[in-house]
Amino acid sequence: MTAETMRVRQTSATELGDAEAYLSHSYCDHRLEPGATRALDFRHSSLPLGASGFNILQYGEEVAVSSRGFEDFYMLEMPVASGVDIQFGAETVRSQPGMALLLSPGPRFHSRWRAGTRQWMLQIDRAAIESRLAMLSRRSQPGLPLFNPVIDLATEHGRCIRTAFAMLAEAISDPEAISPEDADAIVPMIIDELLRNIAYQRGACVVPERLHATPRHVKQAIDLFKTRFAERLVMPAVAREIGISERALYEGFQRYYQRAPYDILTRIRMETARRLMREKGLTAAEAAKRVGIRHLGRFSATYREVFGILPSDDVCNRH
């Protein structure tokens, strides 16, 4: 990193159109809509970090933001005041201090910044994550990782990320507070924390995976889900069969996949049903029954939550 790239860029605006044009030019297509008032106290500070960059952003008042999505970067955002309600692909989450959101390339997003929201945001070069994943997983073409979006900052990796963000925020206030060498090391460190600790999906698979080894009892549960998904599985009985408490089962899945065990079972059922419809020509009703879901309406609604499309439309798009 050179002294030139350590320069902090500061931008402010009071007009919605000016903020919209600036964000669309600097990052990706943005559409801004005011909340109860058209007043705006838009402030953006950015610190370039090679092909990535750290940002501090606020709008002041409530603002709705929509975009067709982005392709070249991941956005790791952490509210330090108030928070954001965001719909990202099939996910809907509400952020607040104490948590971070990791938005992957591709899906459209729509968010509502609550009044007074201020966020630290790290734009991470997509190529840097793909290259590091290929190295760590020892696969030449590992595929684009789509991360579970929610990160609990109370976890060990969450605290590590927050400390790194605080260092970058300090560098925006005082560019001499951090050396170029230390700044250079922060993004690769955060990438490793994400890949090793945050569950992600690749390709057509909807079951998350991680680079860290999965604990034995969690792996046993997943293996059970994959072989007996058509049965009526309840988590207390699953925990007893594996030989652990129900609480330990839930804590294991939450820690290693940021999901409840039933969410993973549902994803396995949906992926199996999709494969049956696409490869075997089964109807939605037939596929739903094969994977243990008797109510077609519930199957269709869940299918849409997982894949972002109704089963009938999905099958039609394959022809």
| Residue 187's pLDDT band (cuts 50, 70, 90) | very high
Can you give 171-231 as a three-state secondary structure string?
A: HHHCCCCCCHHHHHHHHHHHHHHHHHHCCEECCCCCCCECCCCCCHHHHHHHHHHHHHCCC
Sign of CA dihedral 301, 66, 120, 175: positive
* Token reading at 222: 């997943």
Write the CA distances from 228 to 220, 235, 244, 265, integer angstroms.
Answer: 12, 13, 19, 10
Return the pLDDT at 214.
Answer: 77
CA distance linking residue 145 with residue 104, whole number of Å = 8
0.75 exceeded by pTM: yes
Q: How sure is the predictor about 2, in pLDDT bands with cuts at 50, 70 and 90?
A: very low
pLDDT digits (tens, 9 = 90+) for 194-251: 998 888 887 666 677 777 777 889 889 999 999 999 999 999 999 999 999 999 999 9
Strand, coil or helix: 100? strand
Question: What value, to the nearest 5°, has the Cα angle with vertex 238 and ends 215 and 272?
Answer: 85
As a whole number, mean pLDDT of residues 136-146 equals: 80
Average pLDDT, the chain: 88
The number of residues making up the chain comes to: 319
* pLDDT score recorded for residue 132: 92
**Burial of 317 (C-beta count, 10 Å sphere; 0-12/13-18/19+):** exposed
Structural domains of the chain ordered from first start: 4-201 (2.60.120.10), 216-317 (1.10.10.60)
pLDDT, tens digit, for every residue of 52-93? 999 999 999 999 998 877 889 999 999 999 999 998 766 788
